[in-house]
Amino acid sequence: MAVRARSARLPPEVNRILYVRNLPFNISTDELYDIFGKYGPIRQIRVGCTKETRGTAYVVYEDIYDAKNACDHLSGFNVQNRYLIVLYYNPQRQTKKVGTKEKEEEIKRMQTKYGVDGEQHARNPQQPQAAAR
């Protein structure tokens, strides 16, 4: 890579960790190393294997400029008739997803505990009681 390009300031969202979506479920880590390794040395690749994370992976590069180059070139890249979605890892986005899921589970627990059906309650809200004089 040119020296001039390395001295340029990168946007704040750019980092060494890429989040890859829309992967084929049967792709191997070795195949990902082959695809992403063309853009620079890779420190680590983590492929999702649970129901919620299948088809996703995290690719960690040694150098931030290599990660940017890979993100720029591999977004929309066709792998086994699937077009990759390559994004920079955003920890705030990940914690928001976890927090939302936990809140939904807590609401369901509270509805069960107090015998409230959320849908029925939304259709028939209780009318405010008139204040006694």
Per-domain residue ranges of the chain = 13-93
Q: Which two tokens stand for residue 131?
A: 């204040």
Rounded (5°) CA angle 46-32-48: 30
* Percent of the chain that is helix, strand, coil (3-state, to 5): 45, 20, 40
For 39, phi then psi, to 5°, come to -100, 0
Q: What pLDDT, on a 0 to 100 scale, did the predictor assign at position 100?
A: 73
> Looking at domain 13-93, does it have CATH number 3.30.70.330?
yes
Task: Look up residue 130 and give its amino acid.
Answer: A
Q: Directed axis angle between helix 64-74 and helix 29-36, to 10°?
A: 100
- Model pLDDT, residue 113: 82
pTM of the model: 0.65
Q: What pLDDT score was predicted for residue 62? A: 96
What does 7-62 look like in DSSP terms, one character per residue? Answer: HSPPPTT--SEEEEES--TT--HHHHHHHHGGGS-EEEEEE--STTTTT-EEEEES
- List average pLDDT for each run of 10 residues in the chain, which is 133 residues long: 60 88 95 96 94 94 95 95 94 64 81 73 53 50
pLDDT at position 108 is: 84
Residue 114 one-letter amino acid? Y
Q: Look at residue 21 in the predicted model and tell me its pLDDT.
A: 96
